[in-house]
Amino acid sequence: MRDLRVATVQFQHAPGDKTYNLARVRDFVVEGSRQSVEMIAFPEMCLTGYWHVRNLSRDAFAALAEPVPDGPSTEALRRLAREYGMTIGAGLIERADDGRFYNAYVVAMPDGTWAVHRKLHVFVSPFLSPGDRYTVFDTPHGCRVGVLICYDNNIIENARATALLGAEILLAPHQTGGCNSVSPRAMKPVDPAIWARRHEDPAAIRAELCGIKGRAWLMRWLPSRAHDNGMFLLFSNGIGPDDDEIRTGNAMVLDPYGEVIVETCEPGDAMVVADLDASLLPTSSGRRWLRARRPELYGGLTRPTGQEMETRRVRFGQHKEPSGRQAPPEGSNQ
């Protein structure tokens, strides 16, 4: 890998309005180009909208979905990548050839190549199917990139598997923060009244975004994904109201030691830019630990314990979606 200038973005998408959301993506790409950015990461499902889809009928949900790479959103990303010489990652709902739907993240590269990751751990809609493979690929920038979407990053095995496939940079698009976690010591909703007064009382909203509802929660685990696996990590996220939740933003870039290179706690759309120092990779703790592994001891990691549960049930602490719909079986798109 060589040194690389990257950016990661937080922005408030418009639910279901792909025209607006693509325009915001273009705005940030243009600004990134002015700053000589070569790779930029946007949030999970930022092109289609995220949390509102849990209440959509199957027909309305299907209307938002697009094929990849032949759909209009992916084609727009590929045009932007070629026009600005930049690798661009953004999330949407993919409609596969077999009719299944995926929470997908498209990465368009300036040489015309592309990659797509299908989220492994899905829950926002009963119509989504989980992906079944890791996504790691070479880029024209001389680096190898992996993608894990939101909840995928919470499972430590996913980050390790991605690193073992050679990822030097991990794109980690999210829609998180401000969630009503079932854990009493994790995230809780951001106070809407504080958000509404964010311009009059910026200290109060920053306390919400940077506290346990946002950044402080991320700092419990996100740096370890970078540090333990020797990867740079680009965290992108939504910000502001997302249906009945308020996202916390906290866009940041971390180095292979888990140190935050750059971040924002702004209560609004924002982009942060960082220069990745490739010389940090070979001597990082995670890279040395990857070489010290003893795979013959790890057979137990692949054996079911009998406690495994479909992600929708884990996420909500029950066997139902938040709307009250019964969660479908693993792999179902019905």
Residue type at position 299: G
The token pair that represents 254 in the structure block: 């971390």
CA dihedral for 274, 280, 281, 286, sign (positive or negative) = negative
Question: Helices (DSSP H) in the chain: which residue ranges?
Answer: 18-34, 58-64, 72-84, 156-164, 192-196, 202-210, 215-218, 222-229, 280-283, 285-291, 311-316
Residue 245 has pLDDT above 90, yes or no: yes
pLDDT for res 314: 65
pLDDT tens column, 87-97: 999 999 999 99
Q: Count the neighbouring beta carbons within 10 Å of the beta carbon of residue 293.
A: 11
What integer is the mean pLDDT of 217-245? 97
Is 228:289 a contact under the CB 8 Å cutoff? yes
Q: Count the neighbouring beta carbons within 10 Å of the beta carbon of residue 144.
A: 16
Delineate the domains of the chain, giving CATH numbers in brackets: 4-316 (3.60.110.10)
Q: What is the pTM of this model?
A: 0.93
pLDDT for res 331: 32
Is 208:214 a contact under the CB 8 Å cutoff? yes
